Amino acid sequence: MAIRRNSLKEFIPTIDDRVTIASILQRRIDWDIYMKPGIHLSEHYANLMRELTIAPLNDQVALMEENRIDYMNAIIQSLGTIMNEDHIQVVLAIISVIIDKSGTELFLSGEGFGEGYGLIDALNGIYNRQDYSLFTKDLAYKILCMLYADMKQMLPVVGDCIRTAIGVLVQLPGKSDNLLIHLSGLKYLLKNSKCQDIFIDMNGVRVLADLIPYTGQSQNIQLIYLVGFCVWALSFNTSSHNIYDYFLKENIVGLLCDVIAQVSREKVVRVIIGTFSNLCGRSVFNEAMIQKGFLKTLKILSSKKWTDNDVIEDIEFLDKALEQSLSELTTFDMYKKEIMVGHLQWSQVHTERFWKENVLSFEDNDFEQIRKLIDLLESEDPLTVQVACFDLGEFVRMYPGGRKILARLKGKERLLLKMTHPNSDVQRQALLAVQKLMVQNWSFLQR
């Protein structure tokens, strides 16, 4: 699977920034101390590490290319031998900048290293150390994820890594630094379509959906960006999984519309707009964006200055596509699309006027839309349930014999149950709908 933007390859430390990485690379290690008896780092490997740690970046890459097996052994033994965390950080920083410069191939292939197992074991050991700082664990974890993402064969350990990340993400509210570590790891893993499939199978889309409002409320731009990036990467998924169904079920478009209406940082806008461009014209996502009032947000975004041409092009593309979709839709079409999306909100298609003008259209396919509306009474979203209650009440009020139709479709019983819903607004709309069911002359209810 090809991801079209280079940003997926960026190496972005999340707990500290590049200045910190640069400062770590300035440290000098006295490798002689690791050649003492009992430390188990041979003189040969110590000398190789001395040479590697003082060489400029281009020379480091050249050294690895010329004598990869020896240098891999030296790195692996160093990570397993060094006890000084500052020195561990130097070795990790060198690995990260080499990957950033030339990719993971130097660390994944070669005689005796089959997919970099030795390095992976060493990195896992560092990541699982309880006494190491968040920065050290973060750096080791991201290197692991970059290696996993580029493996030709998905090993069980990759699934374990994704499962661990999801386990951290569901523990809300959690420490933001811990979230950052695992989201930054997923940022690299989810560029791989096989990793995407594993993530989707583990209910990862639902986990991201739950995180979106949390990150928006936190106002932590890096958290918002990383969650958005993961969703954007998933929007490229073309495997047997129908990612569109997952996005619809979890209301991904609606949630991201809420975020982009409040956050204008360019890197956040870039991943959200990029996601919407990938979804535009697919399933009922155009209608979902229109329903959320995203066209108004687009007008605001188009008036801003952006440094990334992709953002400018995506905004123009979406504005044109959504305006065309809006012009082609009747109000009843919009209603059906919204029902298909499965998330309702108050709009012009949930009014007395709409029901007066369109109520007879609901006869189609033995009241198919009414059946779907009744099913939405079981939604986990209180707003969707509120609107569904209102619409069913209006159907009963406007359609001749609507009470009998709703009773036949088992809607009456389900409306009655919503009168004890934990959300007070749902209770109110359910009560009004039931009153419309029970009262012939209902006009006094509006007083």
Q: In the chain, what are the domains?
A: 1-153 (no CATH), 197-329 (1.25.10.10), 344-446 (1.25.40.150)
Place of tokens 């379509």: 193
CB 231 within 8 A of CB 275: yes
In whole angstroms, what is the distance from residue 240 CA to residue 249 CA? 17
End-to-end CA distance of the chain: 60
Whether the per-residue pLDDT at 446 is higher than 70: the answer is no
Alpha helix stretches (DSSP H) within 82-220: 85-102, 105-108, 117-127, 134-149, 156-169, 176-189, 193-201, 204-218
Tens-place pLDDT, residues 373-404: 999 999 999 999 999 999 999 999 999 999 99
Tens-place pLDDT, residues 213-271: 887 777 789 999 999 999 999 999 887 668 999 999 899 999 999 999 999 899 999 99
In whole angstroms, what is the distance from residue 346 CA to residue 366 CA? 26
Instruction: Kindly report the backbone phi and psi dihedral angles of residue 35, in degrees, each rounded to the nearest multiple of 5, phi listed first.
Output: -100, 5
CB 311 within 8 A of CB 269: yes
* pLDDT value at residue 219: 77
In whole angstroms, what is the distance from residue 114 CA to residue 108 CA? 7
Percent over 70 (pLDDT), the chain = 90
* pLDDT value at residue 265: 92
Q: Pick the residue with more confidence: 76 or 215?
A: 76
| pLDDT band of 340, cuts 50, 70, 90 | confident
| Torsion (CA) 142, 146, 151, 154 in degrees, nearest 10 | 50
CB 118 within 8 A of CB 124: no
Most confident of 3-7, 304-308, 334-338: 304-308
Whether the per-residue pLDDT at 100 is higher than 90: the answer is no
- Encode burial over 377-393: b for 16+ CB neighbours within 10 A, e otherwise: bebebeebbbbbbbbbb
In whole angstroms, what is the distance from residue 287 CA to residue 328 CA? 11
- Distance between alpha carbon 66 and the CA centroid of its chain, in Å? 39
- Distance between alpha carbon 59 and the CA centroid of its chain, in Å? 37
* pLDDT value at residue 115: 45
| CA proximity to 384, closest of 346, 411, 329 | 346
* pLDDT value at residue 177: 73
Angle between helices 294-302 and 266-279 (to 10 degrees): 130
List Cα–Cα distances, 102 to 9, 59, 87, 110, 257, in angstroms.
11, 12, 23, 16, 37
In whole angstroms, what is the distance from residue 20 CA to residue 442 CA? 69
In whole angstroms, what is the distance from residue 7 CA to residue 4 CA? 9
In whole angstroms, what is the distance from residue 183 CA to residue 195 CA? 14
* pLDDT value at residue 26: 87
| pLDDT band of 155, cuts 50, 70, 90 | confident
* pLDDT value at residue 4: 35
In whole angstroms, what is the distance from residue 406 CA to residue 413 CA? 9
In whole angstroms, what is the distance from residue 372 CA to residue 329 CA? 20
Whether the per-residue pLDDT at 14 is higher than 60: the answer is no
Whether the per-residue pLDDT at 415 is higher than 90: the answer is yes
Residue 210 makes CB contacts below 8 A (sequence gap 6+) with: 170, 172
List Cα–Cα distances, 12 to 181, 256, 258, in angstroms.
11, 23, 26
The SS3 assignment for 124 reads helix
In whole angstroms, what is the distance from residue 3 CA to residue 5 CA? 6
- Distance between alpha carbon 369 and the CA centroid of its chain, in Å? 31
Residue 418 makes CB contacts below 8 A (sequence gap 6+) with: 377, 385, 389, 426, 427, 429, 430
Place of tokens 């953002």: 311
In whole angstroms, what is the distance from residue 224 CA to residue 200 CA? 20
In whole angstroms, what is the distance from residue 244 CA to residue 371 CA? 23
Mean pLDDT of the chain: 86
* pLDDT value at residue 445: 47
* pLDDT value at residue 301: 95
Whether the per-residue pLDDT at 7 is higher than 50: the answer is no
| pLDDT band of 279, cuts 50, 70, 90 | very high
CB 295 within 8 A of CB 324: no
Percent over 90 (pLDDT), the chain = 57
Instruction: Kindly report the backbone phi and psi dihedral angles of residue 281, in degrees, each rounded to the nearest multiple of 5, phi listed first.
Output: 85, -5
* pLDDT value at residue 440: 62
